[in-house]
Chain A
Amino acid sequence: MQFSEFSKICEQLEKISGRLDTIDMIASVLPSLDDDELPIFVRFLMGRIFPDWSQEKIGIGPNLVFESVAYVAGNNKSKVVKDINREGDAGTAVENILSKKEQTSFFTENPDLIEVYSDFKYLASIEGNRSQKEKLKVVRKLFANAGPLDGKYLSRLILGELRIGIGEGNIRDAIAKAFDVPAESVEHAYQAANDLGEIAAIAKKGEEELAKIRIELFRPVKMMLAKQGTIADMIEEQGAIAAEYKYDGTRFQFHKSGDLCRIYSRKLEEVTAAIPDIVEVLLKSTEHDIILDGEVIAVDDEGRPLPFQNVLRRFRRKHDVASHMENVRLVPNLFDILYLDGETLIEKTFEERRVLLERNVMSFVAPQIVSDDIKFIEAFYRESLDAGHEGIMIKSLKSAYTPGQRVRQWIKIKPSVDTIDLAVVGAEWGEGKRAHLFGSFILACQDESERLLKISKVATGFSDEALAGIYDIMKDKVISESGKVVRFEPEIVFEIGYAEIQKSTNYEAGYALRFPRFIRFRDDKGIEEIETISSIGERFRAQSEKVR
C-alpha cells in the first residue's frame, strides 16, 4: 500500500463518526494488505509506529518536522512556524504549506508503507553526534515525497498526534471481522504479544494460529490494572479474596533468562541500567526463567517506605547511578508471575499463580492474606497504612492475569483522595517572575477511541522548582503557539487533585474539575493510561450519590 492511500483512508475515517462504520471500513481494507504491510498499517492507524513492547523511538520533535517542511516547500522555518501557530493544528498547517509549495521538484517517489516504516526504523537507530543532521536528511526526504494530504498525516504520525479515533477496541473488532475470527481470540493474543499489528498478520492465518501466541521473554506485556471499589462489595461478589499491601512505589516487570535479565517500567521502557541494586537481588531470588510483576519502593534506614517521588528519581536516572544508589535504597515487592520456564501463566487463576510464585521465588514475595472476613481485611488495611503504605489491593483468587486491562478482579483500597491522571495538552505562559515559564496547564482526558478531550486547567500546586523542571521537559514538545497559549505533543501525564467534578460546557469533555491542583508528575504513566470520559462520568455519579 502506498502511503498516499493510507492518507486517504485516514481522511475517510476522520469523517466517519459511528463506531460500527469505522470498524467496517477498516475491516474492508485489512484483507487487501500483505503480511508485511498489515502490522505497519494497523499501528499507523492507531498513531503508533513501533510495537507497544518495543523500546524503539524515532526521536523527532516538532522543530525537526517544521524545519524539514520549510526546506521542502521552499519557505523559511519562521514562516512555517507562523502558519502552524495560526492554524493551531500542525497536520492541517503542513497540508496547506505543501499544497502551496514555492519550490518545485523534479519528481516525487510516492513511498509505500514499508518504505516509510523502514525510514522510521532507521531514524530510531540513528545516534551519535551527527544524529540531528542525519535525522533531518531522512525527515526531509519523507516530506519531499509527500503530497499535501500525506504531509498532514505524516506530520501527525511523527508528532504522535494522529488520533483519528482509532483505539485498540476498534482495531481488535476490525481484525476479528476482516479475518472472521472471534474478537476474544484477538484480544487474548494481543494481551500476550502486545502488538496489534503483529496480531493482525497472525489473525489472517486463522484462529488456531492466534491461539498459539504465548508471552515471550524480553517482550514486556502491559501491566494488569485495578479499579476502585470496596472491600464489602468484593467479598460479597467473590467470597474469599486475597489482600496485599498497595505500595507507593513504581510498578515493574522483571524478565529473566539464565543470567540475563531486563526490567521494564510501567510504560514498558527498559530501566535495567538505572537500578543495578534491584537487578542484583532479583537475579539471586530465583533460578528459573521467569517473568514477574511487582512494585519497587524506596525505604529509609529502618525499612519504612518513603514517598513515591524517591523511586521515580532512581528510575529516571541515566548517569551517575552508583552515587544515587547510596542515597535512595530500593526494595522490590513481587506479587505476580506471568511466565515460568517456557510456560505462559496468564490464563491460570491468581490462586494458582500465587502458589507458583511462592514455590519458585525465594525472596521479595509480597505478603498476602486470604480471607472472606471483612473485619480481618480491614485490619490488614489499617496495618498497611500504619506501616507507611498507600492502602491495600484486593484481588479475586479466580482471576486470570489480563494485561493492559483495568478490571474488577483487582480493586485498590486507599484513603479517599480525589486525584485523577490527565494528559497535558497545552499551557499558558506565566506572569511576573514566572513569565518565562509555563504558568498554567491545559489538561485532557480520553474517550474510548483514545481521542483527547480537554477537561480542565491547572495553575496551583506547583513550586517554582516544579515549574522550572516542567518547563525544561515541555519546551521541546511545543507544537504551536498563539498569543499566550501553547500546544504540546501529548506525552506527559499529571496527577491532579480536585474537590469536585462538575458538568460544564466550557470544556470538550462536558465536565470540569473544581479547585484543580497539581499533585505530581506521573512520568511512569503513558498517555494511554489517562482517565477515560466514562470513568469520569462514573466519578461524577458516585459523587452525586454521596450527596444524596
Chain B
Amino acid sequence: MRISFADQKDSALLSINQNQEETTRLSNEISTGSKLTAPGDDPSAWSQSMNFRQGLREYDSILNNIDYATGWNQATDSALNGMTDLLSQARQTAISAQGANGMEDPSALVSSLDGVLKQMVSVANSQYGDQYVFSGTAGSSTPPFSLNDTTGVVTYSGDSGHIGVKTDKGSGSSFTVNLSGDEAFDFQSGGQTLNVIQEVWKLKNAISNGDTTTVAAELGTLDTASQSIGQQSVVTGSRLATLQNQQTAINVLKTDGQTRLSDLSDADMADAITQLQQYKTAYQAALQVTATMDNVSLLNYLTT
C-alpha cells in the first residue's frame, strides 16, 4: 500500500490530536473531580444526578423545617411548664388563704397573685424568634393575650389556626407545629370553657373580697386547669419525639442521596489518573514517531 506524503502528515496529526483531546478531557475530570461535564457525557447519569441534587436541596429545606418545628415546640414546652409552675404558686396562695386562722393579710396574698398573673400573661405571650408562640396563625405584631385587671376579662386576639410545615419528603399533609392560644390555655370544667388566667384572677378577686367559698371552688378548678396544661405538654412532647425521628430518617436519606450522587457524578480518581498516564504515554509516543518519521525520506540517503 502506498502511503502518500499528504496522508502521512495528516494521520500523524490525527493521532496527536486524539491523544491531546483525551488527556485534556481526563485532566479536566481530575481537576474538577467530576466525570460529568455535559449532559451528552452520560445522559441518564446526568438527569439522575440532577434529581438527586434537587432531592438533597429539599432534604436541607426539610431539615430546616424540622429545626424550626423543634425550636417552636421546645419554646411551647417551656411556656407550658412555666404556666404549670405559676398555677401551683396560685394554688399555694389559695391554700394559705384558707389557713386555720381565717384570711390573714389578704393584701399580701393579692399582691403575690398580681405577680403570678403578670407572669402568666407574659408566659402566654411567649415568643419564638419574633413570632408569638400561642397566637395561632394570626401572626399579629401585638401580643395575643391581654388581661383587663378590673373586669378579669382575658382577651385572645389570635386565632385557632395551625401552622403546618413540611417535615417529610412527599406531597402528603404537613406537620402541625403550634398550639393555638385557646388550645393551650382554655379548658373545660363543669360544661364551661374557662381560661387559666381568668380563673387565677377570679381567685385573686375572691381573696381580695374575703370570699372563702369561691376560693375553695377555685382551688378545684385550678387543679383541672393544671391537668389540661399537662395534657398539652404531652402533645408537645410527642411532637418533639416525632420530629427527632424524622430528623434521623431525613439525615439517613440525605447521606444515601449524597453517596448515590457521588457514585453518579464524581470522578473515579484512580481510574482517571491511570488512564491519563496511558494517554500521556501514547501522546509522547505519537510525538516521538512524528519527529522520527519526519526525518525519514529516501532523499536523505541519496548523494548527488
Partners in one complex: no
Binding site for B on A (CB under 8 A): none
Binding site for A on B (CB under 8 A): none
